[in-house]
Structure 1
Amino acid sequence: MLGKLLVTVGILFYAIVVPIFELNDSHAFNPGWEPHARLHEVWQLATNCAIGAFSLWLVWFRGNLRLSSLMTFFVTGGFLLAYALRGSYGGSMVLSDGSEKMILGLNLGLFAYSLAIILALLALYLDKTRTAAT
């Protein structure tokens, strides 16, 4: 049960929390963004929400913690890759108002998605030790 809860936290980050943070004037409705960029933003949010819903179904109704965790790695790992490569394509986590959302001295996205991966790994470890014990 603990493994399911841990992987669920990561899923909730990318499937619910991020859309709440990005469906506003700083992202999806930002008049300074090209319409094409806004379309890609909403597409990414919708895709992540769908992957999140599927992942929740996998873990809670199918008992498939591994595939659900893998989906978390794909979504959150994709963000971490984009974050790591941001200098090569001119990306930034600084918002249009010049601010950057931080927690414990780290960018909020970097913190949350790194935590999601750590929690998914921990969930897999707990699941493996539980399976080995039975």
Structure 2
Amino acid sequence: MIAKLLVSVGIVFYAVVVPVFEVNGSHVFNSAWEPHARLHEVWQLFTNTAIGLYSVWLVWGRSNLKLASLLTLFVTGGFLLAYWLRDGYGGSMVLSDGTEKLIMGMNMGLFAYALAIILAGVAIMIDQRQRSA
């Protein structure tokens, strides 16, 4: 049960929390963003939420923590790659009002998504041990 909860936390980050934070004037309804960029933002939000719903079904309906964790790695790892490569393409986590959302001095997205990957890894280890016992 604990392994399922750990994987679920990461899924909630990318499938629920991020859309809640981004469907507002700083992202989806940001008039400073090109319409094409806003379309890609909404596409990404719908895609990640759909992957999250599928992952929840995998965890709780099929007890397939490995695939759900792999999907979490793909979604959150994609963000981490974009974050680390941001200087190369002119990306930034600073919002249009000049602020950056931080947790303990670390960018909130970086913190949450790194945590999601760690939790998924711990969940897989717990699940492996339980299946071996």
TM over 0.5: yes
User: Residue 108 of structure 2 corresponds to which residue in structure 1?
Assistant: 108
For the pair 1:117 / 2:108, whether they are aligned, the reply is: no
Residue type at the aligned position of 1:129: R
Secondary structure at the counterpart of residue 31 of structure 1: coil
Runs of 4+ that moved beyond 4 A? none
User: Residue 30 of structure 2 corresponds to which residue in structure 1?
Assistant: 30
User: Residue 94 of structure 2 corresponds to which residue in structure 1?
Assistant: 94
- Percent of residue pairs identical: 69
Please report how far the alpha carbon of residue 107 of structure 1 lies from its aligned counterpart in structure 2 after TM superposition: 0.1
Gap runs ≥5 in structure 1: none
Q: Residues of 2 paired with 1:51 and 1:101: CA distance?
A: 25
Residue type at the aligned position of 1:118: I
Secondary structure at the counterpart of residue 30 of structure 1: coil
For the pair 1:66 / 2:69, whether they are aligned, the reply is: no
User: Residue 84 of structure 2 corresponds to which residue in structure 1?
Assistant: 84
Residue type at the aligned position of 2:101: K
User: Residue 45 of structure 1 corresponds to which residue in structure 2?
Assistant: 45
Q: Residues of 2 paired with 1:118 and 1:64: CA distance?
A: 17
Q: Residues of 2 paired with 1:12 and 1:109: CA distance?
A: 13
Q: Residues of 1 paired with 2:105 and 2:119: CA distance?
A: 20
The TM-score normalised by the length of structure 1 is 0.99
Gap runs ≥5 in structure 2: none
Question: Aligned-residue CA RMSD in angstroms?
Answer: 0.3
Secondary structure at the counterpart of residue 124 of structure 2: helix
Q: Residues of 2 paired with 1:51 and 1:126: CA distance?
A: 23
